[in-house]
């Protein structure tokens, strides 16, 4: 029996498995001391900040004008209302319901106010579209007030926008690079209110660790006391070290802070593994140690292929037929719109029978699916780590047995569950 095959795209599923055999080895070993951990010498200024000396967030609302018909549409009502309010301040009264402009966009303005900013100092500001503007390219921000968390005005912003992206073309032929609805104005903000911190009022200078750690905090306090040859610093907790200004007997507090910030201390990095399962990113600290462990990794691949065969026989799925004229032994229907050769199929030039299959298959053909399943099981790859193995050995071993990033994530989580990783695993 002759069969005609029609190959189609079928679902191909791949099942990747990972078999982990984990266990602690019987060998006895001494605990890893803190002195064996890798450490670095860092300036205190790079790992701490001063309590009370901080930036403040500012936010404002305004209008960007001068756009090339890429601004907010009429549906963004608050843009037209803001424009009407701005025009009223200029002495021009307009009705928001009768205004239709496409060169204006409503925006939010954000900036950071430095700790010792004085009136007249300049700030960098960021401008972001609020409505449905297509692009802010070529726009100019009108003067807008920037408010702090307390609602007070601390700065004013104005100026032309600098864009980090662009658009070309439109619709399916268009191309967009980076964002065109967020722009920046370097030095576009001017500080209007003095909120500088007076260091002369400080009785205690507190150094706050950016990465809290008791060992590092003690190192900082010891380095300060050794520098001044007396006890002026004390460790409050893992994130704070206080320095007594009176005991330091320094000519000025800025000089005291500068002297302390230029001291170097040993920084002990905590053993930590950060895993991002969404992107497959894994970051392992250099101090991560592993107990003896064995890993067995293998791949199981299943492939399913489906083909369709057309064979003669009673049709299960009847094709659609079109009557091209008189069938054998019959007469043409009335009103056929002209004479036809009753024995000729006009669509393909064949004779005998006026019925034509429009589905492209022979009449009374049956379509039968045929499925082929193939399974491939690759030999397992084995890796063994001895006592005290570090990150380099783990990464190199996993790379050697051909694991992917997602396989490594599963392996690390399994080793952690078994107790083979002496580190904190953080999954994002």
**Residue 324 pLDDT exceeds 60:** no
CB 104 within 8 A of CB 180: no
Lowest mean pLDDT among 200-209, 321-330, 394-403: 321-330
Tell me, yes or no, whether 47 and 77 share the same domain: no
pLDDT of 120 reads: 93
Give the rounded distance of the alpha carbon of 217 from its chain centre: 33
Give the rounded distance of the alpha carbon of 252 from its chain centre: 46
pLDDT of 406 reads: 73
Residue 77 main-chain phi, psi, to 5 deg: -70, -35
Of the pLDDT bands very low, low, confident and very high (cuts 50, 70, 90), residue 77 is: confident
**Residue 247: CA count within 13 A, CB half-sphere:** 15
**Residue 317 pLDDT exceeds 60:** no
Helix (H) or strand (E) holding 46: helix 44-47
Tell me, yes or no, whether 289 and 391 share the same domain: yes
100-104, 141-145, 336-340 — most confident range: 141-145
Domain boundary among 130, 163, 191: 191
Strand partners, 381: 297
pLDDT of 293 reads: 67
Q: Is residue 344 in some structural domain?
A: no
**Residue 245 pLDDT exceeds 70:** yes
Q: What is the CATH number of the domain that holds 245?
A: 3.30.1360
Mean pLDDT of the chain: 74
* Segment 19-40, tens digit of pLDDT: 333 333 333 333 333 344 456 7
pLDDT of 299 reads: 58
As a whole number, mean pLDDT of residues 172-182 equals 75
Of the pLDDT bands very low, low, confident and very high (cuts 50, 70, 90), residue 404 is: confident
**Residue 15 pLDDT exceeds 60:** no
Helix (H) or strand (E) holding 215: helix 214-228
Tell me, yes or no, whether 107 and 254 share the same domain: no
**Residue 306 pLDDT exceeds 70:** no
Q: Is residue 356 in some structural domain?
A: no
Q: Is residue 350 in some structural domain?
A: no
Tell me, yes or no, whether 67 and 168 share the same domain: yes
Tell me, yes or no, whether 225 and 210 share the same domain: yes
Q: Is residue 328 in some structural domain?
A: no
**Residue 254 pLDDT exceeds 60:** yes
**Residue 248 pLDDT exceeds 60:** yes
CB 12 within 8 A of CB 405: no
pLDDT of 364 reads: 61
Lowest mean pLDDT among 32-36, 130-134, 262-266, 392-396: 32-36
- Residue of 44 and 299 predicted with greater confidence: 44
Lowest mean pLDDT among 133-142, 243-252, 255-264, 316-325: 316-325
Of the pLDDT bands very low, low, confident and very high (cuts 50, 70, 90), residue 403 is: confident
- Residue of 247 and 329 predicted with greater confidence: 247
Tell me, yes or no, whether 207 and 178 share the same domain: no
Q: Is residue 342 in some structural domain?
A: no
DSSP designation for 148: -
Tell me, yes or no, whether 148 and 210 share the same domain: no
pLDDT of 298 reads: 62
Domain boundary among 191, 208, 229: 191
Tell me, yes or no, whether 247 and 394 share the same domain: no
Of the pLDDT bands very low, low, confident and very high (cuts 50, 70, 90), residue 160 is: very high
pLDDT of 59 reads: 96
pLDDT of 39 reads: 61
- Residue of 188 and 275 predicted with greater confidence: 188
pLDDT of 32 reads: 36
Q: Is residue 343 in some structural domain?
A: no
pLDDT of 401 reads: 67
**Residue 362 pLDDT exceeds 70:** no
Tell me, yes or no, whether 130 and 119 share the same domain: yes
Tell me, yes or no, whether 125 and 81 share the same domain: yes
pLDDT of 113 reads: 93
**Residue 164 pLDDT exceeds 50:** yes
- Residue of 427 and 193 predicted with greater confidence: 193
- Domain of 129? 56-191
* Segment 83-97, tens digit of pLDDT: 888 888 888 888 877
- Work out the angle at residue 223's Cα, subtended by the Cα atoms of residues 251 and 43, and round it to the nearest 5 degrees: 85
- Domains contained in the chain, number: 3
**Residue 101 pLDDT exceeds 70:** yes
Domain boundary among 191, 219, 247: 191
Tell me, yes or no, whether 23 and 74 share the same domain: no
Q: Is residue 353 in some structural domain?
A: no
20-29, 241-250, 365-374, 394-403 — most confident range: 241-250
Tell me, yes or no, whether 80 and 116 share the same domain: yes
Q: Is residue 32 in some structural domain?
A: yes
Work out whether strand 424-427 and strand 272-276 pair parallel, antiparallel, or are unpaired: parallel
């Amino acid at each position: 029996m002759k069969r005609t095959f029609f190959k189609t795209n079928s679902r191909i599923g791949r099942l990747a498995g990972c078999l982990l055999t984990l266990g602690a080895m019987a060998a006895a070993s001494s605990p890893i001391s803190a002195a064996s951990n890798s450490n670095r010498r860092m300036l205190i200024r790079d790992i701490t900040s001063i309590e009370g000396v901080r930036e403040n967030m500012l936010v404002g609302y305004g209008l960007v004008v001068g756009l090339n018909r890429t601004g907010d549409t009429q549906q963004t009502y608050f843009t037209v209302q803001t424009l009407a309010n701005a025009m009223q301040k200029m002495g021009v009264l307009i009705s928001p319901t009768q205004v239709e402009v496409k060169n204006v966009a409503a925006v939010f303005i954000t900036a950071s106010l430095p700790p010792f900013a004085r009136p007249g100092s300049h700030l960098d500001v960021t401008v972001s579209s609020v409505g449905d503007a297509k692009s802010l390219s070529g726009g100019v921000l009108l003067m807008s007030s920037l408010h702090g968390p307390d609602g007070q005005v601390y700065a004013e912003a104005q100026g032309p926008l600098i864009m980090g992206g662009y658009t070309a073309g439109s619709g399916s032929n268009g191309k967009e690079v980076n964002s065109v609805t967020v722009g920046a104005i370097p030095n576009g903000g001017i500080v209007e209110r003095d909120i500088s911190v007076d260091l002369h009022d400080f009785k205690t200078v507190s150094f706050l660790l950016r990465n809290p750690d008791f060992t590092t905090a003690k190192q900082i306090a010891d380095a300060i006391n050794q520098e001044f040859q007396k006890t002026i610093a004390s460790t409050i907790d893992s994130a704070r070290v206080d320095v007594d200004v009176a005991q330091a007997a320094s000519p000025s507090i800025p000089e005291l802070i500068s002297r302390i910030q230029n001291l170097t201390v040993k920084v002990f990095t905590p053993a930590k593994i950060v895993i991002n399962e969404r992107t497959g990113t894994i970051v392992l600290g250099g101090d991560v140690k592993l107990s003896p462990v064995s890993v067995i990794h293998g791949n199981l691949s299943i492939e399913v292929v489906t083909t369709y065969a057309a064979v003669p026989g009673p049709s299960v799925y009847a094709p659609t037929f079109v009557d091209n004229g008189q069938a054998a032994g019959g007469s043409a229907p009335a009103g056929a719109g002209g004479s036809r050769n009753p024995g000729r199929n006009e669509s393909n030039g064949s004779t005998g029978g006026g019925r034509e299959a429009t589905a492209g298959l022979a009449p009374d053909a049956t379509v039968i699916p045929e499925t082929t399943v193939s399974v491939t099981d690759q030999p397992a790859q084995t890796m063994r780590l001895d006592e005290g193995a570090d990150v380099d050995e783990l990464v190199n071993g996993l790379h050697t047995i051909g694991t992917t990033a997602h396989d490594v994530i599963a392996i690390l989580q399994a080793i952690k569950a078994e107790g083979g990783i002496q580190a904190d695993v953080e999954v994002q």
